[in-house]
Structure 1
Amino acid sequence: MARIARLSDVLINKIAAGEVVERPASVVKELVENSIDAGSRTIRVALEKGGLGRITISDDGHGMGMEDARLCLERHATSKLRELDDLFTINTKGFRGEALPAIASVSRFTLHTAEPGAQVGTKVVVEGGSDPLVEEAPPRVGTVISVEDLFYNTPARRKFMKREATELQHAEEAVIRLALAHPDVAFFVEHGGQQLFTSPASPGDPRERIAAALGPGVHPHLVPVEERRLGVSVTGHIASPEYTLPNARGIYTFVNRRYIRDRGLNSAIQRAFQEFLASGRQPVVVLFIDVDPRAVDVNVHPQKQEVRFADAKGVGDTVHAAISRALRAAPWLGNKGEGGGPEQPRQAAHYAMAVERFLTRAQEATWGAPLPLPGTQDAPVPGGGPTSPLPFAPTSMQGPSGPAFAPVTTLLPGRAPAFGQAQPQLNEAPPPGYFGALRPMGVLGERFHVCEGPGGTLVVLDAHAALERARLMGFQRMVEREEAPVPTLFGAMVELPVSVAKALVEGREALARLGLEVEPFGGTTLALKAVPPSLVGADARALLEALARALPPPGSALDGTTLAEGLRVLACHAARHAEGQLSEGKLRSLLGELDAADFHPSCIHGTVVVLEVPLLELERRALRPPNPKI
């Protein structure tokens, strides 16, 4: 009896899915690439449960007839290759014909499509790799593909998926990479009905797409690069060395409009920037390398994210030259002007105008009319106080973490911006590594810590709010672990008003979950026998009075939600107790804690970043004449 047998098509597709479909982001990437290859001008991505629940891709491309819709779900059936030579001149995103059958083998798959002008469309349904059910359907423009319950029939794969937020982040990043490569295509991404990424087509100005993908703060720092050598063309944009990140997530390299990761290209980029960046900082780079398709092999990685160049050194040298030329010619070097005389420092006037143009555009997008430019005159701001003379100004609006510090734009009350439409507020979503990159310089008013940020940015922190945020995270972990109160060596007897003492005695179980132990000691006096370590020595009376107002009603379920107000009280009092003991070493440790903190839960005092002023704005103000009319 033969020991070797042919594998079934279902098993072959599932094996292929192990290479092609790594996670929901892989599905998003493959399907959106197909939409781009189909000539789509608008692509919509809708996700549920991070993509594990449902992924829906809608496009307005050329669609398919019934026969093509049936064939596209067969392994190695593709419209993008015909002969062997075609493999060496690939100009499309996909070409192997593996993605659709692989995806359909590990999900509940539905395809609805029609050719332009067709009187009838086609619907194809596949359940976990079963035989496709093909039927007629109403005609539509383009194609809609729905992928539900990804990996439902391969539970071993499903259990290796990360939590929903992580999978969603990967899926969103997959769209951003494709959106950067194709600014002529409009992209819209939503999750659970909420918009995440909204970017209309911007073929005339790629910087608009870069700002939509990476945040509007990068826009005034973008510098074009261009270099052509021996069949290699390098174009794109880099951010000035004054705008950097703590990691390499801002480096995007594309070969013939395909996102790739290549050590040689990354090395060329790092070498070009090495004299301009501080230790631990990484550049922001969006580069497009165009070469003859015959000079690059894109068929060396299952997900097509690595390539092999016929002349890897030549490509790397061209990339290095393109960035080096842009850096040498850039105004931040203080190059000589005409006649050999020095230009104004860093050409601040040029940068100031760029910043002002961007601020004006952002304000018009929010309010429909321009607001007075920073530093020109005081004017009322809708929903806030007077216009600040700086581009980043506190407002009276409330964010999820208390009073919101609003960079660039003031948002409509109750209306959250879609991803890419407004820079995340630092007191709600600080960039990774933001606080650890700060360099403390001094204390102002015995409360505010003045720091230098990347590129010379001036940052002012509220020490109390920073401590409060860090302590809140510790208290939340204590509640989640259900730690029992630890008796303290220094108990306290506290005489309290009748109503306060009564509320505390009734809430002793809730207090225990918060790490405190109290006992009646006659009359309205309570014995405080245990407190969390960070509250040892704090004002016991003020703490207990505040907790009495924050405890949930008797009989309530005790969890992170019902105890949230009590946790905020603990964090505030712990911060108040530690404020005066914040040495430089402890401040640096605190900044590290802030980078690991969750900024979504609200604090009583939520405004950690009181002020952030870019170096460009300081230079613009320094160069402004004392009398604007002169």
Structure 2
Amino acid sequence: MAIAKLSEQLINQIAAGEVIERPASVVKELLENALDAGATRVDVRLEQGGIRLIQISDNGSGIYRDEMPLALSRHATSKIACMDDLEALHTLGFRGEALPSIASVSRLSLTSMVADERNGWRLTGDGSDVFREAAPASHPVGTTVEVRDLFFNVPARRKFVRTERTEYNHCENVIRTQAAACPEVAFSLRHNDRVTLDLPAADDPGERVRALLGDAFLEHATPVDEQRAGLALSGWLGSPTQSRAQPDQQFFFVNGRAIRDRVLAAAVRKAYQDVLYHGRHPMFVLDLELDPTQVDVNAHPTKQEVRFRESRMVHDFIFHSLHKALAALRPGDSGHAAAVPDMGAPAPAGRPMPMPAQADRPLSGLGVPGAGGGYAPPREPRLEPVGRDPGFGAAWAEFRGTSAVAEARPAAYDTPMPSATSGAPAADPDGMPPLGFALGQVAETFILAESPRGLIVVDMHAAHERITYERLKREWEGARVTSQPLLVPETLDVTPAEAELAEERAGLLGELGFELDRAGPETLTLRAAPALLRGQDTAQLVRDVLADLAADGYSHRAEGAMNAVLGTIACHGSVRSGRRLTLPEMNQLLRDMEATERSGQCNHGRPTWVELDHSALDRLFLRGR
């Protein structure tokens, strides 16, 4: 078969297949051009979800008449001139592919005017590689691009276009994302001659976030502002109780560019792992600023993915910044109020049924007696003070390899409890702690407390579980990972690449508690594993860790597995429903919550407390109406 040079139109249509996936792709490319031109206002008009018409007008710098044909030529751009420009990009677009690709699969009209010309000019095309001569046109300073009948000359692509509503939603999401990145720019959207979005320019980025995500998000969000080693992260983290079923309210920008990156996604997931209910997704608006030479934005045709030169450093910086922000939350902090999450159908209300007594029930198959794990409440209950369960201390002592319960128990466990007859302290409105003082129990499960703002309801098991879990993690981190030799070494069949990786990263695997020897080209011998994980499938865990190291250069699986075991111990070592607490014990639990990181959620992501403020109580009883 003879080799032939492709026509210019076919080349553009092939490029359009990479860049233009749907109407939203056109909207994204044209918005980026408008923002790069210095626009302070962008107006978008759609018909039939963008399938029939996409019109984007801006008040940017405009295009000169003699440059308009160049703007519709492939690889013609004003944004880069040499390799140095490409390696240090400060603009959203740079490759000069968008306009010619769009023009090759639609009927395109380009109208523009610059400030030093007397009138504007219009250039039109019909989907071919031939454009009419530019004609004079009335137009203010700026540019309007009109795209009609998208994919009219590429029937195969048009078959993949979805319904009008679906395509409109994708277009709106693109505009909202760009609006979040550029609060100083005004955006408007009209669909089928109806205004559906109107966002005026905002001097305060928080006002743009409020307009996009609502008052509730900003009220409960945690501000982030961290800088280290040439990296700067700013924005807002949504409260874990405001999680969503889909990741549709997540905005991450790198140097002002909206991106999707697995390194960043992994860092966010890890930061939320102990506070987010399973299957839920957090809300956030975050902007990472770094030297443009440290990030490659030319890794994907749509420029939605990037590559970092120091991906591990970026991952660790983002994780530690978000982890620190979430850990710093305490009851009563500004912007941190426990909202009632919507996580599906609630459990049936009512008094919990007592579990059958099991005096020596083992904990998660590890031979550790569970302290209070599902015991039936005694007729006249007597409790150890909150956080001082001797059975739980014994469990922790066994994992630490010591027989002395007193040595294993953290110092915080020995916090003296108030006298059982002292009662709650006086409720001083000016000196009352954030969670107030306990009033009593409901169904031997929830603690009611009066706070400066209203009524607090605490799930005593979930709250104590978080307190115990955080203490356990501090103890474990202080002791580092204890490796335990296996009585019978285990042989693992792996790929040659995984075997080589195990040799190269032997130091890191050793820090995680694994001792691995290479026994052959595709064989590893596991001789030791973390003591905390005995009884689990450590061979599969090693394979998963190696897979993570091969894909990302790091792995959190071993740490996650250890935390899961600590969470199980914390769950079984915490006060259970059906046990009566004295008022001093309730108040001690409230004070421990105020001093504990992430105390708003248990380690399964369920809320530990909610608040009904005075206005909510008034509404319940129609007061003031």
Classify the TM-score, shorter chain.
0.5 to 0.7
SS at 1:245's partner residue?
A: coil
SS at 2:285's partner residue?
A: strand
Indicate if the aligned counterparts of 1:107 and 1:153 stay in contact, CA closer than 8 A.
yes
Q: For residue 344 of structure 2, what is the aligned residue in structure 1?
A: 437
SS at 1:233's partner residue?
A: strand
Q: Matched residues, percent identical? A: 42
Q: Distance in 1 between matches of 2:38 and 2:58?
A: 9
**AA of the residue aligned to 1:129:** S
Q: C-alpha offsets along residues 535-575 of structure 1, whole Å, 9 cap, x if unaligned?
A: xxxxxxxxxxxxxxxxxxxxxxxxxxxxxxxxxxxxxxxxx
Label 1:163 to 1:223 Cα distance change in 2 as closer, same or farther (>3 A).
same
**Is 1:51 matched up with 2:38?**
no
The number of equivalent residue pairs is 366
Indicate if the aligned counterparts of 1:253 and 1:259 stay in contact, CA closer than 8 A.
yes
SS at 2:44's partner residue?
A: strand
**Is 1:184 matched up with 2:184?**
yes
Q: Distance in 1 between matches of 2:6 and 2:19?
A: 18
SS at 1:248's partner residue?
A: coil
**Is 1:319 matched up with 2:318?**
yes
Q: For residue 76 of structure 1, what is the aligned residue in structure 2?
A: 75
SS at 1:33's partner residue?
A: helix
Q: Distance in 1 between matches of 2:86 and 2:199?
A: 33
Q: For residue 291 of structure 2, what is the aligned residue in structure 1?
A: 292
After TM superposition, give the deviation of residue 238 of structure 1 in Å. 0.8
Q: Distance in 2 between matches of 1:217 and 1:303?
A: 33
Indicate if the aligned counterparts of 1:71 and 1:77 stay in contact, CA closer than 8 A.
yes
Label 1:256 to 1:207 Cα distance change in 2 as closer, same or farther (>3 A).
same
After TM superposition, give the deviation of residue 347 of structure 1 in Å. 4.9
Label 1:457 to 1:20 Cα distance change in 2 as closer, same or farther (>3 A).
farther
**Is 1:144 matched up with 2:144?**
yes
Q: C-alpha offsets along residues 29-56 of structure 1, whole Å, 9 cap, x if unaligned?
A: 0001000000000101110000001000
Q: C-alpha offsets along residues 317-370 of structure 1, whole Å, 9 cap, x if unaligned?
A: 11112211211222xx33xxxxxxxxxxx458x768x99xxxxxxxxxxxxxxx
Unaligned runs of at least 5 residues, structure 2: 351-445, 447-454, 458-608
Q: C-alpha offsets along residues 210-237 of structure 1, whole Å, 9 cap, x if unaligned?
A: 2222334312112210111211111111
Query: Which TM-score applies when normalising by structure 2?
Result: 0.55
Q: For residue 428 of structure 2, what is the aligned residue in structure 1?
A: none
SS at 1:242's partner residue?
A: helix
After TM superposition, give the deviation of residue 275 of structure 1 in Å. 1.4
| Larger relative contact order, structure 1 or 2 (CA cutoff 8 Å, min sep 6) | 2
Indicate if the aligned counterparts of 1:225 and 1:323 stay in contact, CA closer than 8 A.
yes
After TM superposition, give the deviation of residue 139 of structure 1 in Å. 4.1
Q: For residue 612 of structure 2, what is the aligned residue in structure 1?
A: 618
Q: C-alpha offsets along residues 228-260 of structure 1, whole Å, 9 cap, x if unaligned?
A: 121111111111222111122222211111111
**Is 1:245 matched up with 2:244?**
yes
**AA of the residue aligned to 1:235:** S
Label 1:128 to 1:241 Cα distance change in 2 as closer, same or farther (>3 A).
same
Q: Distance in 2 between matches of 1:222 and 1:435?
A: 17
Query: Which TM-score applies when normalising by structure 1?
Result: 0.55
Q: C-alpha offsets along residues 85-133 of structure 1, whole Å, 9 cap, x if unaligned?
A: 1110111010000000000010010011000142021100011134111
SS at 2:264's partner residue?
A: helix
Q: Distance in 2 between matches of 1:92 and 1:616?
A: 45
Label 1:312 to 1:261 Cα distance change in 2 as closer, same or farther (>3 A).
same
SS at 2:135's partner residue?
A: strand
SS at 2:125's partner residue?
A: strand
Alignment of 1:502-581 (within 5 A): none
Q: Distance in 2 between matches of 1:179 and 1:239?
A: 18
Q: Distance in 1 between matches of 2:342 and 2:240?
A: 18
Label 1:438 to 1:71 Cα distance change in 2 as closer, same or farther (>3 A).
same
SS at 1:306's partner residue?
A: coil
SS at 1:439's partner residue?
A: coil
Output the aligned Cα RMSD: 2.9
Unaligned runs of at least 5 residues, structure 1: 335-345, 356-391, 393-433, 444-451, 459-614
Indicate if the aligned counterparts of 2:50 and 2:168 stay in contact, CA closer than 8 A.
yes
Q: Distance in 2 between matches of 1:435 and 1:226?
A: 29
Q: Distance in 2 between matches of 1:152 and 1:216?
A: 42
After TM superposition, give the deviation of residue 436 of structure 1 in Å. 6.1
Q: For residue 115 of structure 1, what is the aligned residue in structure 2?
A: 114
Q: Distance in 2 between matches of 1:457 and 1:166?
A: 42
Q: For residue 135 of structure 2, what is the aligned residue in structure 1?
A: 135
Q: For residue 174 of structure 1, what is the aligned residue in structure 2?
A: 174
Label 1:231 to 1:301 Cα distance change in 2 as closer, same or farther (>3 A).
same
Q: For residue 14 of structure 1, what is the aligned residue in structure 2?
A: 13
Q: C-alpha offsets along residues 305-324 of structure 1, whole Å, 9 cap, x if unaligned?
A: 10000001111111112211
Q: For residue 199 of structure 1, what is the aligned residue in structure 2?
A: 199
